[in-house]
Chains A and B, each alone.
Chain A
Amino acid sequence: MSADVLVPFDEVLEKFDPALGLEVHVELNTASKMFCGCPTEFGAEPNTQVCPTCLGLPGAMPVVNRTAVESAIRIGLALNCEIAEWCRFARKNYFYPDMPKNFQTSQYDEPIAFNGFMDVEVDGETFRVEIERAHMEEDTGKSLHVGGATGRIHGADYSLVDYNRAGIPLIEIVTRPIVGAGERAPAIAKAYVAQLRDLIVALGVSDARMDQGSIRADVNLSLSPKGSGTLGTRTETKNVNSLRSVERAVRYEMSRHAAVLDEGRSILQETRHWHEDTGITTSGREKSDAEDYRYFPEPDLVPVAPSREWVDELRGTLPENPTQKRARLQAAWGFSDLEMRDTVGAGALGLVEDTIAAGAAPQAARKWWLSDMARRANEAGVELTALAVTPLDVARVQALVDEGKLNDKLARQVFDGLLAGEGTPDEIVAARGLAIVSDDGALGTAVDNAIAANPDVAAKIRDGKVAAAGALIGAVMKEMRGQADAGRVRELILEKLA
């Protein structure tokens, strides 16, 4: 496959206005599936969480999961949507082996929630993203293509299907076209998904793990000539499974569209696949408006008609508005605007909040997540939330630092141990023997050894060149394998060479 020609991002914006559209699928964390009683746990043995209904066996019928409807309404309300007084499920008909009935039970022209918005913060500015609809549907099974180079269906020797995922409840949240974003389009896309994820987490309706596919984003993008006020032909990029990728995919498609349009060619309306590793999109199946899903109301289900009393009751269960919450937290934590923005931008707000709640000082919590953890997540190419380090762990490590039992360098080794799955922070400290040696006897010996081994340096310090102590501190720390309080070592050196 030849690489796409790309136009540098800045040049794209000289000629074109981008229009974004985001379709986010949220897998609900209900105990049972959308239309049957099967469990929904992630990672079970293939085809063990199935029944006649979610396997689409002849004669089996669906029954709507009330908790899923409740979650859908709460998501709708949190997105400032109107909630339908009466809506139906519809069949979306198309053939695919991982779809047991060869139709997906979804909603079509009667979504449960519609006409909402979300105010997204980017670089301290607020941008309103309008929500067209949020509707309920069921997930498909999962195909595994065996053989062949890419894990794609083409070139595979055979395919296996796991129907455990078939029938898991999904909420699809669709934005109206987001126009006027200009150069901030990639950032707005990322911020929208991040904020939506935070909202979903706050609502407690999903595991909200992008790496496990419990939040999946499809990015629609089109370009139109600058200032034309029209909408161009769009592509739909699927499989965008991290916040970072949302931003990158938008950038990539903007640059690719611009190159195609610059050459006087037109954009093909199609589905594209995002490749996390190479950072490019490739053409998937062609999708045109002519693709006909032959939607019609699902005759095996009765309409969903949530009473206004129920909707009001659910409105009372909504978490705090994210904008207000951020302002409240910033004040409580004493963060600067920049610190707060960085925390939100890194997708660390919830983690920092939980770490502080577990006892850590705000600045310490922020420091660990935004420096060390962010670096490690970046290296591993995963989200912060996907790291094997929890806010409770970070709070405990910080407590050990505060107690003088660890220094920052040792703390990092504890995090190494946590990422390696070696146990709890305390277990790792014990197993790795990481506690700071505060015994002046052992330290004193090490200091004496360092002075003896570095007579020149010792002489300088005796002559009052206190700054030279650093070299001796280094030697002592080396001998102590880092398990010493550098401040105490310095005191001891200066005492002995006074």
Chain B
Amino acid sequence: MVAFTVNGMRRELGVDPNTPLLWVLREHLKLTGTKFGCGIASCGACTVHIDGQAMRACATPVSMVEGKSVTTIEGLSPDGSHPLQRAWVAEQVPQCGYCQSGQIMQAAELLARNKAPSREAIVEHMDGNICRCGTYLKIISAIQRASREG
């Protein structure tokens, strides 16, 4: 039995403690906004917050979140109104969109720490998140917009 909080709701699950958090979220809890990309923490598509810190859910055994608070893209804001989500729409960032939950969660950690990051700080913070459609420049613009518009 593993007990933790997901998007503000307490969950108790009878799963193997070694199960990656990713599959617990996606297939046990049906929170499919968090995506499977690589399974080895190499692409960032599965990024979630664990006690506010951006982590790769694919490389996090569920036992590690025992007693902790997990936030997924579904819990970032109640209605898609987080400044980053609004900026992502305004800048028309997503193409295929598959990586964008992870991109937004990664960026949300940055803005929570640094309200006005430089371009260099953005690139450094985001470099572990792959977007194969090549929307990187729009991601940078959206983070800068969210930083400006809050």
The answer to whether A and B assemble together is no
